[in-house]
Amino acid sequence: MKTNHDSNPDNEQRTIDTVIKLTLIALLLVWCGMILLPFIMPVLWGIILAVTLFPLYTRLLKLVKGKKGVSATLITLILLALLIIPSVWLISSIVGNARELITSVRDHTLVMPPPKPEVADWPIVGKPIYAAWQMLSTNIETAIQTYRDKLLVVGDKFLGIIKSVTSSFLTLIVSVIISGILLVGSDKTETSTINFANRLVGKTGDEFIKMIVITIRNVAKGILGVAFIQFVLMGAALMLAKVPFAGLWALAALLFAIVQAPVGILAIPVVIYLYSAREPIPATLWSMLIVMVALCDNFIKPYLMGKGAPVPTLVIFLGAIGGMIMSGFIGLFTGAIILSLGYKLATIWLEGGSQEQVPES
């Protein structure tokens, strides 16, 4: 029979071995995380796109007689075309508008219609808008010098936005390719994900996975989908109405829609321009169309975000906005998912507590 003195060295040795093993495992996991860190954003976006596009992938799979590679390739090519073609149009429009603006300022040919006297009667903002507009219409160079500092600040912010959008666009291109690869191996990925969820939270793992999938699809449709629709419709309406710098206005509408700022704000200066440069009837018709496009998200978004959602639409919306404020663009999805999971766990806990308090009959 061993004494306590004899067993202590064995216990200490086992403890040391366990600590060393755990330290090495933690070091390995951290090292792997650091290696994969540059690829986290494209992979996350690839997963989000794959989850969003999976229903389309399954429908297309039936048409191509079960050829997974063909179905995933077609979806990838279609998505790349939908991204690249409008982007090329937008970039060419922005470059053309910028070149036209620079040339007209340099050649002193930039002409802006003078404001109508009624503008000065607008409440609160009428007089400063009238003064700035009048200066722009009579002496553009003096106006630029007067508002030079403010214009530089706006220009710097706009260039920063352009750089961020360009970087995000390139990341999205890589993510589209990753999503195509994930779609091909969707069966194995789904099985592994469900097994992991079941090991993590037990029998409710399937329910949580379904909730995450629905949340991702609802956010993609309700925020990004609506933003893209407004971007295309606003750009088309402004070009048909022959509003100057239509590409820039469309880009601003896209950014406003993504960050959940009211796109209707952008319609105000456009409507002012239309009434100052067009006859009343055409100006009214174009203004009605542009305002309708700017406000359409108020009707489409609640329907798309709440369709089939296992949690209230408000939870998804607050999670998306809060996540974006905290984590940037990807936070639209991660925030909505985390808050939905938290809401679901709280609901399960409260329901479990209420069931425990019910007396037995």
pLDDT per position as a tens digit, 42-66: 888 888 888 888 888 888 888 888 7
Per-residue confidence at 361, pLDDT binned at 50, 70, 90?
very low
Percentage of the chain with pLDDT > 90?
2
Please state, in angstroms and as integers, the Cα–Cα distance from residue 53 to each residue in 41, 74, 100, 194, 223, following that order.
Answer: 18, 12, 40, 19, 15
pTM of the entire structure? 0.60
- Higher pLDDT among residues 267 and 206, named by residue: 267
How many CA atoms are closer than 13 Å to the CA of 195, on its beta-carbon side?
A: 6
Q: Which residue has the higher pLDDT, 71 or 161?
A: 71
For residue 27, name the pLDDT band (cuts at 50, 70, 90). very high
**CA-CA distances (angstroms) from residue 154 to 86, 147, 149, 165?**
25, 11, 9, 16
Both tokens of 134, joined, read 């009048």
pLDDT digits (tens, 9 = 90+) for 168-182: 677 778 888 888 888
- Count Cβ atoms within 10 A of the Cβ of residue 173 and give its class: 0-12 exposed, 13-18 middle, 19 or more buried: middle
d(CA 317, CA 61): 32
Dump the DSSP string for 25-87.
Answer: HHHHHHHHHHHHGGGHHHHHHHHHHHHHHHHHHHHHHHHTTT-HHHHHHHHHHHHHHHHHHHH
Q: What residues have CB less than 8 Å from 101, skipping those under 6 apart? A: 110, 245
Gap between the Cα atoms of 90 and 29, Å rounded: 43
pLDDT (tens digit, 9 = 90+) per residue, 308-353? 667 777 787 788 888 878 877 777 778 888 888 888 878 877 776 5
Residue 132 phi, psi dihedral angles, 5° rounding: -65, -40
Task: Report the alpha-carbon distance of residue 237 to residue 253 in Å, rounded.
Answer: 12
Q: What is the largest CA-CA distance in the chain?
A: 106
* pLDDT for res 170: 78
* Rg of the chain taking only CA atoms, in angstroms: 28
pLDDT at 358: 47
Task: Give the pLDDT confidence of 136-159 residue by residue, as tens digits.
Answer: 666 665 666 666 666 667 666 666
Q: Give the rounded percent of residues in the chain with a pLDDT score beyond 70.
A: 72
Task: Specify the pLDDT at position 23.
Answer: 92
Judge whether 216 and 48 are in contact, CB under 8 Å: yes
DSSP state of 116: P
- Answer for the pair 76, 91: CB distance below 8 angstroms, yes or no: no
User: pLDDT digit string (tens) for 240-259?
Assistant: 888 877 777 887 888 788 77
Residue 141 — φ and ψ, nearest 5°?
Answer: -65, -40
